[in-house]
Amino acid sequence: MTIGKNFSINWPHQLKIGDNVRIGIGMSLVIDGIWSDIGFISIENQVEIKDYVKLIKKSDSKCVIGQTSFIGDNVNISIASDLIIERDCLIASGVRISDTNHLYGKDIENRKCATINAFINIKAGTWIGLNACILSGVIISENSVIAAGSVVNKDIPEWEIWGGIPAKYLKRIQ
Any idea which residues carry the catalytic annotation?
102
Cβ density class 75-96: b for 16+ within 10 Å, e for less: bbbbbbbbbbbbbbbbbbbbbe
Three-state SS for 124? coil
DSSP string, 66-113: -TT-EE-TT-EEEESS-EEE-TT-EE-TT-EEE-EEE---TTS-GGG-
Three-state SS for 49? strand
d(CA 152, CA 132): 8
Cα 14 → chain centroid: 17
